[in-house]
């Protein structure tokens, strides 16, 4: 392409003058476009004729003993929706007094340009652009960083990609334009202040911390009586009090009865119908028990009523039961032989 040399614009000269006064030079982005300049002046432009793509700055590299600053950016066509002639190249800066953005450097290739096509058309473009600035104030140049981790190379002012830093004295927020040593020093101070919490998954840590405050010996211990877990309290009362403390039934605070030395017993009931399936020498069936969990280990027994004759039949049926295993919402019952009557059962669950 026919780019010659980037020209310092009138706007750029104004920024250089303010930089010499100690106000610094802030560069916002690298821009390319497809506009034809015609008979217009390059140095008097404050924007591209037709901007097509914008790139944040990857890095500032100092060369020639700091007399030249190379502004590095990456041209990547992965976001292009259509191709265009690459005629214009510019570096944008920001006036420190007015916050106005304008062209700091500019060049135009005219008709002797390159066409940048899209990846959809099979063209992959990933190029590193370096725009050179001759200045005596290279150290005062700041920029809006792209965050591209690939810009650090062997020619960058970071030896072997390592950073020497010291933990900051106080916890303060990071700021744009700070050195890597300052940034890592601030980060280390935050990690040190957080202690083990810095390396623990946040949601589980918060839940355990809150729950521990209500455990015996915690800063705000709860007693069984405070959550309705006294011997006369019902399981429903326990659950209601726990839910009220947590704010909702899924208990986001992570307070469990075990953590506060309280447990609740609930009794679940069901009727076992005459609906057995043979399996070898044994018989089984799945019985729906609302509220049962696969993790439960209940104490199972026959549920007697006031009719002694019926109770006798229930007891005979229960005597044929070998075992009952739980699953979410029910139990599976196995028998030595299939009972011929339906019988009621109860399951005492401790949670």
Does 189 map to a domain?
A: no
DSSP-assigned letter for residue 199: G
4-22: pLDDT as tens digits: 889 999 999 999 999 889 8
Count of structural domains, the chain: 3
Question: In angstroms, rounded to a whole number, what is the distance separating the alpha carbons of residues 156 and 153?
Answer: 5
For residues 181 and 99, give the distance between their C-alpha atoms in angstroms, rounded to a whole number.
Answer: 28
- Alpha carbon dihedral 33, 34, 39, 43, in 10-degree steps, equals 10
133 and 63 within one domain:
yes
78 contacts 1 by C-beta, under 8 angstroms? no
CB contact at 8 A, 299 and 348: yes
Q: Which domain holds residue 339?
A: 265-350
Q: What is the pLDDT of residue 58?
A: 87
| Tokens linked to 247 | 């704010």
On whether residue 169 sits in a domain, the answer given is: no
Q: Which residues of the chain have pLDDT under 50?
A: 153-161, 229-233, 246-253, 261
Is residue 165 a part of any domain in this protein? no
Of the chain, the end-to-end C-alpha distance in Å amounts to 76
Choosing from 114, 139, 158, the residue where a domain stops is: 158
pTM, two decimals, is: 0.45
Which of these three, 220, 242, 260, is where a domain ends? 260
- pLDDT at res. 97: 95
- What is the per-residue pLDDT across 25-54, written as a single tens digit (0 to 9) for each? 999 999 999 999 888 889 999 999 999 999
Q: Does residue 233 share a domain with residue 125?
A: no
Is the domain of 345 the same as that of 288? yes
Does 230 share its domain with 125?
A: no
At residue 149, the pLDDT reads 65
Distance CA 194, CA 206 (A): 13
């Amino acid at each position: 392409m026919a780019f010659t040399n980037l020209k310092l614009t009138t706007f750029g000269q104004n920024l250089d003058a303010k930089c010499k006064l100690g106000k610094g030079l802030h560069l916002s982005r690298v821009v390319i476009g497809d506009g034809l300049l015609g008979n217009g002046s390059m140095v008097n432009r404050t924007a591209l004729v037709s901007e097509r793509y914008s790139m944040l700055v990857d890095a500032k590299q100092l060369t020639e003993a700091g007399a030249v600053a190379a502004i590095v950016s990456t041209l990547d066509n992965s976001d292009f929706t259509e191709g265009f002639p690459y005629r214009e190249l510019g570096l944008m800066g920001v006036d420190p007094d007015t916050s106005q953005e304008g062209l700091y450097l500019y060049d135009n290739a005219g008709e002797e340009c390159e066409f940048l096509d899209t990846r959809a058309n099979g063209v992959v473009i990933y190029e590193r652009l370096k725009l050179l600035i001759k200045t005596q104030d290279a150290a005062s140049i700041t920029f809006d960083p792209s965050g591209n981790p690939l810009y650090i190379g062997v020619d960058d002012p970071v030896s072997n990609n390592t950073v020497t830093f010291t933990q900051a004295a106080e916890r303060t927020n990071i700021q744009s334009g700070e050195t890597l040593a300052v940034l890592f020093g601030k980060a280390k101070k935050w990690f040190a202040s957080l202690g083990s919490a810095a390396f623990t998954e946040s949601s589980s840590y918060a839940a355990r911390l809150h729950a521990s405050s209500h455990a015996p010996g915690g800063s705000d211990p709860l007693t069984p009586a405070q959550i309705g877990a006294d011997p006369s309290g019902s399981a429903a009362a326990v659950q209601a009090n726990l839910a009220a403390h947590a704010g909702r039934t899924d208990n986001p605070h992570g307070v469990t009865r075990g953590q506060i030395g309280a447990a609740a017993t609930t009794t679940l009931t069901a009727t076992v119908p005459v609906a057995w399936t043979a399996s070898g020498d044994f018989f089984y069936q799945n019985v729906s028990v609302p509220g049962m969990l696969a993790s439960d280990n209940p104490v199972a027994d026959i549920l007697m009523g006031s009719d002694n004759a019926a109770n006798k039949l229930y007891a005979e049926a229960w005597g044929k039961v070998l075992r009952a295993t739980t699953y979410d919402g029910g139990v599976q019952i196995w028998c030595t032989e299939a009972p011929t009557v339906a019988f009621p059962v109860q399951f005492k669950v401790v949670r």
